[in-house]
């Protein structure tokens, strides 16, 4: 029996949104990647419109040769406050790209779901 390919499932980041007393928002992401891959650039945050903030995390490594062992990479990403552009119910979409835009995993949350932290 063949093993299922769950690599895309592993690419779906675990995310948590927090805000401090001054309404500064931080997105915490745990990204699972092959041990021989890395996140070499800072994640990019783009305010698409008042209802969507897109966060892209690019993972790079040797093409088509990921190791079988994976590791978790924790990231802390600063986000704009809803007063700057997005609305308080704006969706925050976090997408992980593994060397190829077709291999991706996404998670999302909203500003309303932010925890005090």
pLDDT value at residue 18: 96
Q: Spell out the residues 6+ positions from residue 4 whose beta carbon is closer than 8 angstroms to its own.
A: none
pLDDT value at residue 79: 95
pLDDT value at residue 67: 83
Element (H, E) at 10: helix 7-11
Q: How far apart are CA 117 and CA 105, in angstroms?
A: 26
Which of 47, 39, 113, 37 shows the shortest CA–CA distance to 78? Answer: 47
pLDDT value at residue 66: 77
pLDDT tens series, the chain, 117 aa:
555 555 545 678 999 999 999 989 999 999 998 899 999 899 999 999 989 999 999 998 887 777 888 899 999 999 998 777 777 788 999 999 877 655 578 999 999 999 997
Strands 91-98 and 52-59: parallel
Q: How far apart are CA 20 and CA 115, in angstroms?
A: 9
pLDDT value at residue 103: 59
Q: How far apart are CA 76 and CA 60, in angstroms?
A: 19
Single pTM value for the model: 0.85
């Amino acid at each position: 029996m063949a093993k299922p390919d769950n690599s895309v499932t592993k690419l779906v980041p675990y995310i948590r949104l927090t805000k401090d007393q001054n309404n500064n928002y931080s997105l915490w992401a745990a990204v699972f990647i092959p041990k021989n891959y890395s996140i070499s650039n800072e994640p990019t945050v783009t305010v698409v419109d008042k209802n969507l903030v897109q966060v892209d995390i690019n993972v790079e490594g040797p093409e088509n040769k990921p190791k079988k062992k994976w590791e978790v990479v924790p990231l802390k990403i600063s986000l704009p406050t809803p007063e700057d552009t997005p609305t308080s119910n704006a969706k925050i979409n976090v997408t992980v790209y593994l060397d190829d835009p077709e291999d991706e995993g996404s998670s999302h949350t909203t500003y309303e779901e932010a925890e005090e932290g």
